Amino acid sequence: MQDEGPRAGGKYGPYIQSERCHIYQEKIQILLENGSAYRCFCSNKRIELIRRAALSRGETPKYDNKCQHLTQKEIDAKMKDNIPYVIRFKLKLNETPWEDVVHGTIVNDIALVEGDPILIKSDQFPTYHFANVVDDHTMAVSHVLRGVEWQSSTPKHIQIYEAFGWKPPVFAHMPLLVNKDGTKLSKRQGDIHVEHFKDQGYYPESILNFICHVGGGFGTDQTAGMSFDDLISKFSLEKLKKTPGRLEFDKISRFNHETLIQKIQGNERHEILQQVLKLVSEKYGSEFIENNDERSLQQYLEAVVDWAKVRINRIEDLLLPEFKFIWVQPSFDDIKNLSSFSCNCQQVLESTIELLETDNHFKPETISKLLHNHVKELQLKFKTYMHLLRYSISGRKEGPGVVEMISLLGQKQTVERLKLCLEHIKLSQT
């Protein structure tokens, strides 16, 4: 929840830059008066010529600080003629080291590689270099956390703080996030937008855990499943990684899996069950297994979620084809290949139905024992028997163990499906 800003307000407002121009004008006067800044009247044409000349020599373009040496008389004359100007900061040669919480001691004499930077543009609006210093100081910012691409600009920002006589904040430059192959992220990549992951059914906690895993700061890569409070308590700027964090998006599913299990086993279990019911009802409509006993439906959803939690990464995965048998009875079309089995399917199914209907316990261990004994009586290969039962129950040739499927579906539903197969066999014989 935002406790300060353009909408929430706060004691350090205004928070919109265009509404702070009077503050920037007040502060720039201080630098002009103490000689730390000066007006630059160089035209865009001259600046462009300087740039081209530097490039032709194979040098990095930088302003030559010409206007730093104008006399007051020359300045007054140009002001009288209304010549447009910007206000630049006088960089000093300075090799004083400064501390970056992430990268340690940094020594970088900015004046050797850059010309005097612009603080106020010709339209009287501030540049980032000036606005960020003024805003951070006047808003009592103690720590500046930003991307490592700003590290090279920090020495000039420190010089601006010192020109005002202000104490600089603590700086920490964080590693950039890049693609798996090391290339830069792009706004044109649809798969890096928050909306993309939200639409795909990933939880906010999972994305947060994933980003924390990539960037570090916790002394461990095992951030999957960490609560927000755990992340806060374990985080340390000193533990942030120095190298760019590669976004291996294929790992997000593992992080979401951990979050999903926590939700299923925690206080959000009821919400998960309701979400499953809504998804399945919308997907399958009237095909969804009918059950007029609300408590039994609740128990069935509980059983499905507990069984599936180690098999899925998102709730939406329960709508994948391999899980359709959980929600919908196989159609005649799904089981049209019963005749391809090398056994008397009618006899096998009739005897199995009778066997399962008389099982008063219907527990995985009793079902397993019954099927193992029965296959011996039928003188069938166990593999053939299991394939037939799986196909009859789900309409699929591959999937979970048959005992698992039967236990999950329950006695009534399993028997109904086997009887449906019998009906199909009899119809195909007429």
Compute the Cα dihedral for 396, 399, 403, 406 and give only its sign: negative
pLDDT at residue 295 in the model: 53
User: 173 lies in a domain?
Assistant: no
Same domain, 40 and 135: yes
Per-residue pLDDT at 190 exceeds 70: no
Quick one: 347 and 420 in the same domain?
yes
- For the four alpha carbons of 65, 69, 75 and 77, in that order, the dihedral sign comes to negative
Same domain, 223 and 254: yes
Query: Residue 271's domain spans which residues?
Result: 267-319
Is residue 177 in a domain? no
Q: Answer yes or no: do 132 and 242 share one domain.
A: no
Q: What percent of the chain has pLDDT over 70?
A: 98
In this structure, the answer to whether residues 24 and 120 fall within a common structural domain is yes
The reply to whether 284 and 207 lie within a common domain is: no
Report pTM.
Answer: 0.77
Q: How confident is the model at residue 290 (pLDDT cuts 50, 70, 90)?
A: low
Q: Is the confidence at residue 1, as pLDDT, over 70?
A: no
Query: What's the rounded Cα separation, in Å, for the pair 359 and 192?
Result: 53
Residue (of 369, 420, 359) closest to 394 by Cα position: 420
User: The tokens of 396 are what?
Assistant: 């699929």
Residue closest to 309 by CA, chosen among 250, 367, 269, 363 = 269
* 3-class state of residue 282 by DSSP: helix
Does residue 300 sit in the same domain as residue 206?
no
What average pLDDT does the segment 390-419 reach? 93
How many other β-carbons are positioned within 10 Å of the β-carbon of residue 175?
18
Long-range contacts of 399-403 (CB under 8 A, 24+ apart): 399/322, 399/325, 402/371, 403/364, 403/367, 403/368, 403/371
Among residues 225, 258, 291, the one where a domain terminates is 258
For the domain that residue 240 is a member of, what is the CATH number? Answer: 1.10.1160.10
**What pLDDT shows up at residue 292?**
42
Q: How many other C-beta atoms can be found within 10 angstroms of the C-beta atom of residue 254?
A: 15
- Is 294 a residue whose pLDDT tops 90? no
- Region 304-319: mean pLDDT is 95
What value does the mean pLDDT take over residues 140-152? 94
Which of 176, 192, 179, 185 is CA-nearest to residue 241? 176
HSE value, Cβ hemisphere, 13 Å, CA-based, for 68:
16
What H or E segment, with its residue span, contains residue 262? helix 252-265
Are 336 and 302 in a shared domain? no
Q: What is the mean pLDDT of residues 310-337?
A: 93
What's the total number of domains in the chain? 4
Averaged pLDDT of the chain: 91
Give the pLDDT confidence of 198-227 residue by residue, as tens digits. 999 999 999 999 999 988 888 888 888 888
Closest residue by Cα to residue 338 from 415, 382, 394: 394
Q: What is the pLDDT of residue 94?
A: 84
Are 41 and 34 spatial neighbours (Cβ–Cβ below 8 Å)?
no
pLDDT at residue 32 is higher than 90: yes
- Tell me: the pLDDT tens digits for 215-269? 888 888 888 888 889 999 999 988 888 999 898 988 999 999 999 999 999 999 9
* 320 DSSP 8-state letter: S
- Please name the residue ranges forming H helices in 266-381: 269-284, 294-308, 324-327, 345-357, 364-378
Looking at the structure, tell me whether residues 425 and 350 fall in a common domain.
Answer: yes
Does 27 map to a domain? yes
Angstrom distance (rounded) from CA 100 to CA 172: 5
Domain presence at residue 275: yes
Q: What is the per-residue pLDDT for 263? A: 95
Distance separating alpha carbons of residues 203 and 259, to the nearest angstrom: 7
Which residues have C-beta within 8 Å of that of residue 339, sequence separation ≥ 6?
Answer: 345, 428
CA distance 400 to 398: 7
pLDDT at 109 > cutoff 70: yes
Instruction: Tell me the average pLDDT across 289-296.
Output: 58
pLDDT at residue 286, as a whole number: 80
Give the Cα separation of 114 and 47 in Å (integer): 14
Spatial contact of 254 and 224, defined as CB atoms under 8 Å apart: yes
Residue 323 CA to residue 327 CA, distance in Å, equals 8
Half-sphere exposure of 195 (CA within 13 A, CB side): 3
Residue 324 lies in a domain: no
Does residue 7 carry a pLDDT above 90?
Answer: no
